[in-house]
Amino acid sequence: MNRYSTHTCQELRTSHEGETVRLSGWIHRQRDHGGILFIDLRDAHGVTQVVVRPDRDCFEETKHLRVESVITVTGKVCHRPEENINEKIPTGEVEVIVDELEVQSSAEILPLQVADENDVPESMRLKYRFLDLRRESMQKKIMLRSQVIASIREQMQTMDFMEIQTPILTKSSPEGARDYLVPSRVHPGKFYALPQAPQQFKQLLMVSGFPRYFQIAPCFRDEDARADRSPGEFYQLDMEMAFVEQDDVFEVIERLMTHLFDKYSDWPVTETPFPRIPYREAMMRYGSDKPDLRIPFEIQDVSEIFKESDFRVFRSAVEQGGVVRALPIPETEGQPRSFVDGLEAFAKENGARGLAYVVFPKGGGKLKGPVAKYLGEAELEKLKQLPGCGEGATCFLLAGAENFVAQLAGRLRVEIAKQLDRFEKNVYKFCWIVDYPMFEQEEETGKIEFSHNPFSMPQGGMDALLNKDPLDILAFQYDIVCNGVELSSGAIRNHRPDIMYKAFEIAGYDNSVVDKQFGGMIRAFQFGAPPHGGIAPGVDRIVMMLADETSIREVIAFPMTPGAEDLLMDAPSEVSPEQLKELHIRLELPKPKKQKNAPQKTEPGTSPSSATS
């Protein structure tokens, strides 16, 4: 007989009656009736009730075992009497009458309960993650993650993609997020960087003649966390294809996403092809480049209506080159005053001076709202006719500079949907955001910068770079978005050195900078590079959506806190002086801050390249 188990804790049925079996697992719950002891024994597969009777040697010892102790029991499978069947568990018709019980590992008093999935502070869960992971909900999520990753590999292989590993210790690159640096022992004063993504390597693989590459790739970025963004590290399905256009990439990803979301969720998924929304249109209609299409209302431009309005606030906004945008919300007439007050406070927190709105009562009664009296009949009627507006609706109005208004209206749209719970439920709404601008102007300095990825091919190629206003040039750059979560960015890459140099020149970098920072890639492009493009969906985010979670940490086995700490391993930590010496590093720590605005005196010892934004 196997030393630890003959069956799992979810296998036994009435057909096993009379067999002598062995089970190992954790004590999930214990019920002590004095003369008889019931233990729910749990393993990764399920729970089986085992019964200890007082005539067994182990009876007294067993009574004092705490939950979550690990035991091995040997005994006979018995059919439970009709009245004692537990229909809640698959093994509920049987139980194991214990002959022998071996304690493999006894448990201390638990800092958090495994069997009761009550709320526990996340810091506690992370510190005792090994206990937290035992809970059924976490087991399911980690299992789901495993299956999703397996399916991704299977699908990608089926579509003739090759999985290829790329280096983890690599070169710091000046653009993008802050790098995690690794000091070199062999080369004093030099550092490796952990890759923010295998971007350059995958492009090199295209040049190397592997036309379909993928990798479940760890990515490292030293940036602050969000609910849907893990600090430090995360995983991407990194992929790249040679001799493709944008639609070819879309087709592969749509096929993959549809497969994953159909397989691992019951919710309906957007039919392929997913809608393609140009960036500027997304900013107009949703005030965001990751629009949540489950929200049934949209932003509308009403600058025309107010161009010659008597209401000076709106008119002057338009005259000064700004815009007026409307966000009509149907069926809100009955909302309490606190609704609009709360939203006004929200708008102010986000930098607005105020929040104008008009309520159109049902039956055509007197209009409500602070600006109603300043607006003319014709203007009000036009607002009322807007799609989504009309009787019973509240029409919010925002005026000012276009980018600001668009963004604020977008945030307001999501906030209102949250407050009124107006999301379409149990559905996955995908879309592509396409036609990102190649460059953007930094507001303070007026400097032209890459708006997304410097490796994207500008639409129109060299001709566009030479002849168009940089701010009008679009890139073959795209995002895929699901329910307001950005799953991925990608692009058709710029594989032409001449176009690359020119693009960087527009962003203010001369050729030598390009050669220095991206020398490997530029050199590769001079020896015959195929046109190529790709994308890199976030694996954690995909699993998060499939698990219907809003925090990415729920689908990562050992996540860091938003403060970039691992509470279980206690990382980051100090290292020994010997280790530092070997790495040629001397610490210069900031003063412990006592009062506010403590003067910053420390400068990084070396600053190899000036990081752009």
Partner RNA sequence: GGGGACGUAGCUCAAUCGGUUAGAGUACUGGACUGUCGAUCCAGUGGUUGCGGGUUCGAGUCCCGUCGUCCUCGCCA
Which 289-348 positions form the footprint of RNA (CB under 7 A)? Answer: none
Question: By CB under 7 A, which span of 122-130, 140-148, 382-390, 522-530 interacts with RNA?
Answer: 122-130
Question: By CB under 7 A, which span of 29-37, 295-303, 354-362, 466-474 interacts with RNA?
Answer: 29-37
Environment class of 82 (CB within 10 Å of its CB; exposed 0-12, middle 13-18, buried 19+): exposed
Among 14, 15, 123, 272, binds RNA (CB under 7 A): 123
**What is the closest distance, in whole angstroms, from the C-beta atom of residue 504 to RNA in the complex?**
12
The residue among 56 and 285 lying less far from RNA, judged by its C-beta, is 56
Among 19, 100, 224, 271, binds RNA (CB under 7 A): 224
Tokens of 562: 């938003």
Question: Binding string to RNA for residues 126 to 155, with x set by CB under 7 A, is what?
Answer: x-----------------------------
Q: How far is Cα 272 from Cα 291, in angstroms, rounded to an integer?
A: 18
**Is residue 537 a contact residue for RNA (CB under 7 A)?**
no
Which residues have C-beta within 8 Å of that of residue 313, sequence separation ≥ 6?
356, 399
Residue 64 main-chain phi, psi, to 5 deg = -100, 5
Among 10, 20, 38, 402, binds RNA (CB under 7 A): 38
Cβ pair 477, 489 in contact under 8 A: yes
**Is residue 581 a contact residue for RNA (CB under 7 A)?**
no
Q: Report the run of H or E that residue 22 belongs to, with start and end.
A: strand 20-32
Among 14, 15, 113, 165, binds RNA (CB under 7 A): 113
Q: How far is Cα 511 from Cα 287, in angstroms, rounded to an integer?
A: 36
Question: By CB under 7 A, which span of 31-39, 142-150, 207-215, 518-526 interacts with RNA?
Answer: 31-39
Question: By CB under 7 A, which span of 168-176, 261-269, 270-278, 297-305 interacts with RNA?
Answer: 168-176
Among 360, 430, 450, 476, binds RNA (CB under 7 A): 450
Tokens of 558: 């050992």
**Is residue 69 a contact residue for RNA (CB under 7 A)?**
no
The residue among 446 and 528 lying less far from RNA, judged by its C-beta, is 446
**Is residue 40 a contact residue for RNA (CB under 7 A)?**
yes
The residue among 325 and 452 lying less far from RNA, judged by its C-beta, is 452
**Is residue 562 a contact residue for RNA (CB under 7 A)?**
yes
The residue among 322 and 484 lying less far from RNA, judged by its C-beta, is 484
Among 4, 15, 31, 581, binds RNA (CB under 7 A): 31
Angle in degrees, 0-180, between the axes of helices 497-506 and 511-525, rounded to the nearest 10:
160
**What is the closest distance, in whole angstroms, from the C-beta atom of residue 361 to RNA in the complex?**
32
**Is residue 18 a contact residue for RNA (CB under 7 A)?**
no
**Is residue 540 a contact residue for RNA (CB under 7 A)?**
no
Tokens of 38: 């019931």
**What is the closest distance, in whole angstroms, from the C-beta atom of residue 198 to RNA in the complex?**
8
Cβ pair 211, 530 in contact under 8 A: yes
Question: Binding string to RNA for residues 182 to 221, with x set by CB under 7 A, is what?
Answer: --------------xx-x---------------------x
The residue among 355 and 383 lying less far from RNA, judged by its C-beta, is 355
List the one residue out of 257, 271, 336, 173 whose CA is nearest residue 543: 257
The residue among 179 and 379 lying less far from RNA, judged by its C-beta, is 179
Cβ pair 180, 194 in contact under 8 A: yes
Tokens of 173: 């690159």
Residue 490 main-chain phi, psi, to 5 deg = -160, 180
Residues in region 462-501 near RNA by CB under 7 A: 489
Residue with tokens 């640096």: 181
Residue 276: CB atoms within 10 A of its CB come to 15
Question: Binding string to RNA for residues 359 to 398, with x set by CB under 7 A, is what?
Answer: ----------------------------------------
List beta partners, residue 219: 234
Among 1, 18, 105, 109, binds RNA (CB under 7 A): 109
**What is the closest distance, in whole angstroms, from the C-beta atom of residue 44 to RNA in the complex?**
19
**What is the closest distance, in whole angstroms, from the C-beta atom of residue 336 to RNA in the complex?**
20
The residue among 383 and 542 lying less far from RNA, judged by its C-beta, is 542
Residues in region 234-263 near RNA by CB under 7 A: none
Among 223, 245, 262, 472, binds RNA (CB under 7 A): 223
**Is residue 516 a contact residue for RNA (CB under 7 A)?**
no
The residue among 226 and 516 lying less far from RNA, judged by its C-beta, is 226
Which residues have C-beta within 8 Å of that of residue 289, sequence separation ≥ 6?
279, 282, 283, 433, 436, 479, 481, 486
Q: How far is Cα 314 from Cα 561, in angstroms, rounded to an integer?
A: 44
What is the residue-wise DSSP string for 106-140? -----SS-SSS-----HHHHHHTHHHHTTSHHHHH
The residue among 160 and 349 lying less far from RNA, judged by its C-beta, is 349
Strands across the sheet with 232-242, in order? 162-163, 212-221, 232-242, 532-535, 485-492, 477-482, 430-434, 276-278
- Between the alpha carbon of residue 590 and those of residues 4, 179, 181, the distances in Å are 54, 20, 19
The residue among 33 and 366 lying less far from RNA, judged by its C-beta, is 33
**What is the closest distance, in whole angstroms, from the C-beta atom of residue 561 to RNA in the complex?**
4
Question: By CB under 7 A, which span of 111-119, 137-145, 163-171, 526-534 interacts with RNA?
Answer: 111-119
Q: How far is Cα 293 from Cα 431, in angstroms, rounded to an integer?
A: 8
Q: How far is Cα 504 from Cα 540, in angstroms, rounded to an integer?
A: 32
**What is the closest distance, in whole angstroms, from the C-beta atom of residue 174 to RNA in the complex?**
9
Among 45, 46, 90, 92, binds RNA (CB under 7 A): 92
Number of H helices and number of E strands within the chain?
17, 21
